[in-house]
Chain A
């Protein structure tokens, strides 16, 4: 969850005024522009390699005839140098607060146009309109590869290695772990970003660049909620999806293996109690499983049982929520949905917001069986 004052939470639950603008950075220098951003959108998906992407149109009224249209590698909004910080300003009467939505790399400029007029007999730029596509700073790491295969100089700390290979700040959100000794980073396209995700796997999560431009690990398990989305009197929710899918819920696993002499081994595991029992109203849903690594009947029984546990044990499902725009909610936050038919706590796995007044998030929630 992004930083905020306590009052902002109250303001966001009622009527408020919002405004979005962008700051331009070249390296560490912030340029003297506060640019309007039109028709913008920002989409996040915890499952993709570069988690956040966006687009929008920068509209700039020229102060002294300057243009924002990139020319070659030069220009204020040139994709070869510019980083944009998206800032949302929330106000309600005297209350004003600005929330940074994060710093993004300008990935491409699909469209740019200058508007001109005659001033003192010269054609002068009056305004520029530049459409940009944005990617999270993880894109910097995706583009930057290793020169040759290398192994970590120290296997003690995943975070130290994350700092070393990304050269970016890292926020330690989960306990540190040692790196397995056989780890080697490959020299290939996108290898460095894969290395980051490997480290995140060791730490038990997914690595994302958060809104202050630091890497953080979003843990796999749903922890304590940091944000609340409400329904009811103070609510902001317009719609909650209630989507139940049973296609991958198997209650019977049949294993077909071979022993060393290529004689077949059959092993079956099934649910015999509870709502998913095989003779119950759910019926049977069979999954077949084969593996070369299994060649005794004991191993076969263990294997099918573990597949069955995986199938019914920790079910995750996504709940789609449409609510009023809330700039505080970040990808990876654990959010509590209060006031719905039953309490729900889940991790934000996708998020999309745009110039409209509403945003869509989906929460990944555990289902108890």
Chain B
């Protein structure tokens, strides 16, 4: 298959479930690529991979990958004049099968071999995750309350006009909008989680765009909101349940509209040059070269992410 990406799901919580999208090879004339993720009937641009400059390979961590549903990744390649070179083949992150012999993989329409079973689909997570797309490190695991998403409204801005001599009104509309006035309430079992939720949209010292990426986990299914939902909200209102009785429970209530994810071309790296430098601080360049055959292999040392801070 030409240029199909390799997908590696990570379901740990540092900071949140994510997928590495790795294009090992691209069309030789490729100068920039736009990576697209389609899931739940919608296609989104992958953060950091909007007309991203490439030299033949591209690796991105997608923190916005929806949970527990089949997800497909592909990329559109552009040459240095900005003309499209077409799409790469897609790769599906589908059913996750356990019990296979090592090295064995399963085509989507194959029957399960004996002793194998499906443990889940796509990027598996029990919990619902919230994070600010510009700060995935601040991701927080939550549980939706019963008042969440009880009403889903997607209004159309329309003006009903009654021209002279016409019996019926004529609708002069603008395109239908995304979710509007969505109620999203989550439960925070302790004050640490409550603080993390509050910090999603900025605090006293940092400025952020109040857009939250919401990914629904298995325990909050079924919920008929977009996968993922980019939720623009003015405020997160904290309601005390029993903080005053030293139990630390709060409800965090939000009302907002579906929003565009801010600066989709901006990649928020987990792994930085500082991490690599810190890990190889006592070594020589030869040691680094010895460990990695290609430059892209250094770029993909996601196991070292955050090493500089340890």
Contact = CB atoms under 8 A, between A and B. Distances in A.
Contacts of B266: 63-65, 119, 124
Given A117-B134, A117-B208, A127-B262, A239 B172 contact: no
B170 A18 contact: no
Nearest to A127: B262
Interface stretch (B64-72, B156-164, B182-190): B156-164
B170 A324 contact: yes
A339 interface: yes
Interface string A14-40: 111111000000000000100000000
B165 interface: yes
A148 B170 CA distance: 57
Contacts, number: 103
B51 interface: yes
Interface stretch (A217-225, A229-237, A271-279): A229-237
B36 to A, nearest CB: 14
B172 A235 contact: no
Nearest to A62: B263
Given A61-B260, A63-B265, A233 B165 contact: yes
A357 B159 contact: yes
A231 B163 contact: yes
B40 interface: no
Contact of A18 (B51, B172, B269): B172
Contacts of B174: 17-19
A119 B135 contact: yes
A231 B164 contact: yes
Given A62-B262, A62-B263, A64-B265, A323 B163 contact: yes
- Would you call the interface of chain A mostly helix, strand, loop, or mixed? strand
Contacts of A18: 172-174
B182 to A, nearest CB: 20
B206 interface: yes
Given A15-B170, A117-B208, A119-B135, A64 B263 contact: yes
A126 B262 contact: yes
Given A61-B262, A126-B263, A235-B165, A16 B173 contact: yes
Contacts of B173: 15-18
A292 interface: no
Nearest to B210: A117
Interface string B67-108: 000000000000000100000000000000000000000000
Contacts of B175: 17, 19, 91
Interface string A92-126: 00000000000000000000000111111001111
A238 interface: yes
Interface string B190-203: 00000000000010
Interface string A117-147: 1111001111100000000000000000000
Given A232-B166, A324-B161, A324-B163, A61 B172 contact: no
A126 B209 contact: yes
B232 to A, nearest CB: 11
B260 to A, nearest CB: 5
A214 interface: no
Give the interface centre of B162, B170, B265 by most chain A CB atoms within 10 Å. Answer: B170
B172 A15 contact: yes
Contact of A119 (B82, B134, B171): B134
Nearest to A339: B165
Nearest to B137: A120
B56 interface: no
Contacts of B165: 231-233, 235, 339
B134 A325 contact: no
A358 B208 contact: no
Contacts of B51: 32, 63-64
A358 B72 CA distance: 43
Contacts of B50: 63-64
Contact of A117 (B164, B207, B264, B265): B207
B218 interface: no
A245 B264 CA distance: 59
Given A117-B208, A231-B165, A65 B170 contact: no
A19 B174 CA distance: 6
Contacts of B163: 231, 235-238, 323-324
Given A126-B262, A233-B166, 20 more contacts: A15-B171, A15-B173, A17-B175, A18-B173, A32-B51, A63-B264, A63-B265, A65-B265, A65-B266, A91-B175, A115-B209, A117-B202, A117-B262, A118-B206, A119-B135, A123-B207, A126-B209, A233-B167, A235-B163, A324-B163
Closest 3 CB pairs of A and B: A64-B265, A357-B172, A63-B265
5 contacts: A16-B173, A32-B51, A118-B207, A123-B207, A233-B165
